[in-house]
């Protein structure tokens, strides 16, 4: 009858290992929302983001690694907002914080220093429920011809 406790420990370790594997691969530990339409940076690594109804226009941002990321932020309402970018959801290391702006239609640009591939976290520091993932993608290498 002592066989059952011996089997429970390895099974528990397998469950923990599976959970850890599922959560790895991002800097923040939180994957971007599945099926979400991310705001995608253009060829100059500039992305448009706005705020309306106490929400960001996109729950995630995609940008390229290796060059600064410019977030052109427009506040479309008369409620103050800003954009801050952190290394992860703990917010222990802030990379950049933009100006607090009040709209409607006030705009500011926040420049994130060049990053390695991975995932960062952004939020409005006034309304912490306004947040999302900034996914930094590896730059596709040009194929030799």
Decide if 23 is inside a domain. Answer: yes
Residue pLDDT, tens place only, 130-145: 999 999 999 876 555 5
pTM of the model: 0.75
- Residue 46 within a domain: yes
Determine the distance from the C-alpha atom of residue 13 to the mean position of all C-alpha atoms in its chain, rounded to a whole number: 30
Residue 27 within any structural domain of the chain: yes
Residue 38 CA: distances (Å) to CA of 6, 14, 18, 119: 46, 34, 27, 13
> Mind listing the pLDDT tens digit for each residue in 48-70?
999 999 999 999 999 999 999 99
Question: Which domain CATH number covers 93?
Answer: 2.60.40.420
Identify whether 144 is part of a domain. no
Range of the domain at 98: 3-137
* Domain assignment present for 52: yes
Residue 142 lies in a domain: no
**44 belongs to a structural domain:** yes
Domain count, the chain: 1
């Amino acid at each position: 009858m002592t066989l059952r406790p011996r089997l429970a420990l390895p099974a528990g370790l397998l469950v923990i290992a599976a959970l850890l594997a599922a959560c790895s691969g991002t800097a923040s530990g939180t994957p971007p929302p599945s099926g979400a339409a991310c705001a995608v940076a253009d060829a100059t690594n500039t992305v448009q983001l706005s705020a309306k109804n106490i929400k960001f226009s996109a729950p995630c941002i995609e940008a390229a690694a290796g060059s600064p990321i410019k977030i052109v932020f427009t506040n479309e309402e008369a409620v103050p907002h800003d954009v801050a970018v952190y290394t992860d959801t703990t917010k222990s290391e802030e990379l950049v914080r933009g100006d607090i702006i009040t709209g409607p239609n006030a705009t500011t640009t926040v420049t994130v220093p060049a990053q390695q591939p991975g995932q960062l976290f952004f939020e409005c520091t006034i309304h912490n429920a306004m947040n999302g993932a900034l996914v930094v993608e590896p730059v596709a290498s040009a194929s030799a011809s």
